[in-house]
Each structure stands twice: as structure tokens, then as C-alpha cells.
Chains A and B, each alone.
Chain A
Amino acid sequence: MSNMIQTESLRFAYPADEGQKPVYALRGVDLEIEKGSFVVILGHNGSGKSTLAKTFNAVLLPAGGKVYVEGMDTLDQDLLLAIRQRVGMVFQNPDNQIVANVVEEDVAFAPENLGVPTEEIRRRVDGALKAVGMDEFVTHAPHLLSGGQKQRIAIAGVIAMEPACVVLDEATAMLDPIGRREVLATIHRLNQEKGITVILITHHMNEAENADRVVVMNDGRVDLDGTPEEVFSQVARLRHLGLTVPDTVDLLDRLRQKGWDVPLDALRAEDCAAAVAGALEKK
């Protein structure tokens, strides 16, 4: 299986004040992200998860080690545009990433930068807006839309580059529950229908339950890595890292402590309910 993104003992430090030692935000990350997968990167504040995300499309360059995007080294200046076109990035605050004051103009921004011919831009803009379910809003003013809608416009603006991978850097953090659900449904659909690799950076555990893979960052290193079931059944470890576990796992964990015979990896609400019902029957 080919890799979308690969990091090799990646290190990164933010510039420190004079006379002080630089603090490493990333201290040796080795990660391979498969093409077409849906990966969630979790971690508490300061764990390095956002810094890691920003190295994926050369916004930040490694201070040690390497990052490869489809085999392209992000340290190579000549490949900068090619890398950014392959890996799109959506940020936390939708207001600060919308460039134009008409929806279609904003979505067209990236293809315009890439020098795509006019008819092709039109096709991409319409396609991208349809893909995020915002095709009714072509000529609207972005500042009049809701947070979730704005964030979907931002996603459309990235999709219009036709990237192979989309990185969402806490893109749901500023949204209300409805907006968050809209955005999550949109990116899951993009992952399934268009085969776009999705890397979702978040601190909401519940957003991880439908992922292919969960990576937990702590102190600039990968701490846990595996399927959601594998990761979330490590309840003690997660709590030690200062992370909460999904409500379902929390319930199952407490039942187990009381001596119930339930599995820890029934993540989804339905599975959890079935597991509890099964255990009740046995009693």
C-alpha cells in the first residue's frame, strides 16, 4: 500500500527567546499515513498535534528528520506548490481563511492561483460546492453564513485544488454541535466517495469513533496508534495522558470495574447498547 504522507524521526522547535533553549514541539515522530484512509490525530493542548499537521504541507519545515508527501520531500523548495496542491489544509477559524466576499470567488481562489483555465475553474467550483452540499449558496456573501456553512465553504475551497489529502486542523473546534455534525458528515463523505485521505486533528474523542485509525500524540511523540477500538480500550493510559474517553467506553469501563463481563471496544452507541443488553441477559 502506498503512503500519502510519511514522516521519519521528525523534529520541530518553535523559535525561542534569546538565551533560552528551544522547546521541541515534535521530538521524533515516525508516522506513515496510507492513501485513502481516515486518520484522527488526538492529543491535549501542547501535545504537538497541530504542529505535526502543519508539517504535512510545508507550512512548517522539519528541524530534523523528514516529511514526504507522496514521496516528495517538503524541504525541497521547488516542490512547494506541488505539495500544497496535493495536501489541502483547513484551519480552526473559518473567518480567517475565507479570502473573497462571494462564495464562488472564494472557492475559485486556489484554482486561480494554480493557473487553471477559466472553464475548468467553473467546473471545479460547482463540483466542490456540490461535494460539500453548499451549491445553493454560490453567490452568497460568506459573512452571512453560519459557522458550519463557512467551514464547509473553506473545505470546498480546498477541494477545488483537487488534492489527494485534506488535513483539518481543529476545524470543528469553533463550531456548535450542529455545525460540527455538518462538517464531519461532509468529510466522511469525501473520504468514502472521492477516496480523499482525511487527517482530522481534534480533541473531541467522539469524532474519532468512525475513523480507520487513531493516533494519540503526547509531548511531541506518538503515544498510541491503532484502530479506534484498540486505542480507546486503553482507558487507563488515555486518562493518564489527560484525555477523556468516549462516553460509551467510559460506561463499559465502569461496568467492568463492577465485575460485569462486557467488552471495552464497543465504541458506537448501538454496539455498546447491544453489549450491555447481552451482559444483562447472561446475569
Chain B
Amino acid sequence: MLKDITLGQYFPGNTAAHKLDPRTKILLVVLYITALFTAKSFLAYGLMALVLAVCVRVSKVGLRALVKGLKPVLFIIVFTGVLNLFFTPGEGILWAWGPLHITSSGLRNAAFMVLRIMLLIMGTFLLTYTTSPISLTDGLERLLNGLKRFHVPVHELTMIMSIALRFIPTLIEETDKIMSAQKARGADFESGNLMEKAKALVPILVPLFISAFRRADELATAMECRCYHGGEGRTKLHVLKYGRRDYTALALGVLVLAGVIAMRAFGR
């Protein structure tokens, strides 16, 4: 059951979307999100959906994998949809029952919100699906490099991130082992109400934490033995380089954002 966790899942591939510099992709996602929050008309949302469809097509990530990414946030989508549908004040009441009422602007808002969240999540998932965690953190470090001037510990933060990603499978394996060991001694994780289930997790979390701290200690020693002394003077095996592909992609991204802004300005 623990194997299903899809945090930062990556589908290896060799498409143009995979080959883009991670920095380009992060910037594109930022542009994409800005455009999504600027969009105020069905035409603009249509354009954004089209952009996403093209990106999905290029990356050859299955549509099913993207839709699966929506599942955990289904509740939030439905919740915001319903809230917007019934509680938006406005003219032209179509239906009313007590404090609940559906207005035409409510209908519009609900549709926009649902569309926005869905496009937002699918777009960001596309980033993690086509970018390996290591190049993602690499790109992030390089993008945020300027913040070092303001004493933001950029290298340390990205190092923490990549080590956390590295240890997810190790810790999942460990959790499985501890659970098996507890089950073998008669622990019960399945029955009981929510409270009881949560209580049953405590004997798993305690040894897991202790072992995680021990691991961290050993890892720190091993890193120091391999001459780790912070980000200063570090070189890289893979140096990130912008290519023509990256400039083209960024130009297209800016163009789409400009288009959406123009649509909003002209009220379409």
C-alpha cells in the first residue's frame, strides 16, 4: 500500500519536454500559473487548456497518469466548485432554496474555479513527471542563486530537498519492515475507528524516527568523509546549459501569457 505514494514521481523519457533545461520548465510553470490566474474568460481558459494539451502531447505522458494526479485533490475541487456555485451573490437568480441560490455569475465562477484548479494541478504535475528530482533541485538551486546575496541558504535548502527525495524509498522500505515486525507480534492496523487506527501508528512512528535520526547521523559522517564542506567551491557533474530549444519554449510561454493578458484587457 505504501508503494502507491507518487510524490514527485518521474517518468523517464527522451522527448523535447524531457530535454528542456529544468530552469526553463520551472519558469514556464510560473508563467503558466500567472496566465491561469489572469484568465477571466472561457476563451482564455480554452487557450490554456489547448496549451496544456500540446505540452502533454509533446511530453508523451499518458493522459491517464495526469488524471490520476487529480484524484487526491478531488475533494478540494468539488468543495470549491460547490461553494462558488451556491454562495456567489449576484443578479439573475436561477434557483434558490433558503440561503442557497444559484446565480448565473455563480455558475460562471464555479466553472472557472474548477477549471483553474484542474489545469493548475495537471500543469505542475507535468513538470514533475518530465523532470527527474535531481535536475529539478539542480534547476531550483541555479534559479535561486541570486538570493544567496541576501544570505538565503539556497545550497543547503536544495541539498536538504534532494536528500529527502533520496531517502523516501529507503524510509518506505523501513516502514514496511517495522509494520511487518509489529504485525508478527499481533499489532492490528486495519480495524477500529479513525482514532484507534491513528493510535496504532504510534509504535511504527517511534522506531521510524529513531532510525531516521541514526541514519542522518551516519549520512552526515559519510558526507564529511567525502569532503563535503557546504556549497562553496563546489563543481557539478552535469552543468545546466540553455539551448535554442529553451529560448523557443520561453518565448512561446511569454507569448501565451501576453495573449491571456490581452484577452483580459479587451474583456474577452
Contacts and interface: CB of A to CB of B under 8 A. Distances in A.
Given A95-B215, A99-B166, A115 B223 contact: no
A95 B229 contact: no
B9 to A, nearest CB: 13
Contacts of A89: 222, 225
Given A102-B134, A158-B226, A95 B237 contact: no
B229 A113 contact: yes
Interface in A110-143: 110-118, 121-122, 125, 141, 143
B219 A97 contact: yes
B196 to A, nearest CB: 33
A49 B180 CA distance: 34
Contacts, number: 91
B62 interface: no
B188 interface: no
A93 interface: yes
Contact of A110 (B169, B170, B227): B227
The interface centre, meaning the residue of B215, B219, B227, B239 with most chain A CB atoms within 10 A of its CB, is B227
A190 B214 CA distance: 31
A84 B225 CA distance: 6
A108 B133 CA distance: 17
A91 B218 contact: yes
Contacts of A113: 226-229, 234
A100 B166 contact: yes
Contacts of B132: 102
A116 B104 CA distance: 64
Contacts of B223: 99, 109
A37 B155 CA distance: 39
A158 B222 CA distance: 10
Interface string B225-251: 111110001111111000000000000
A59 interface: yes
* A-B residue pairs, 6 tightest by C-beta: A97-B222, A108-B237, A110-B226, A96-B218, A89-B225, A113-B227
Interface of B: 132-134, 162-163, 165-166, 169-170, 173, 215, 218-219, 221-229, 233-239
Interface of A: 57, 59, 81, 84-85, 88-89, 91, 93, 95-102, 104-105, 108-118, 121-122, 125, 141, 143, 157-158, 161
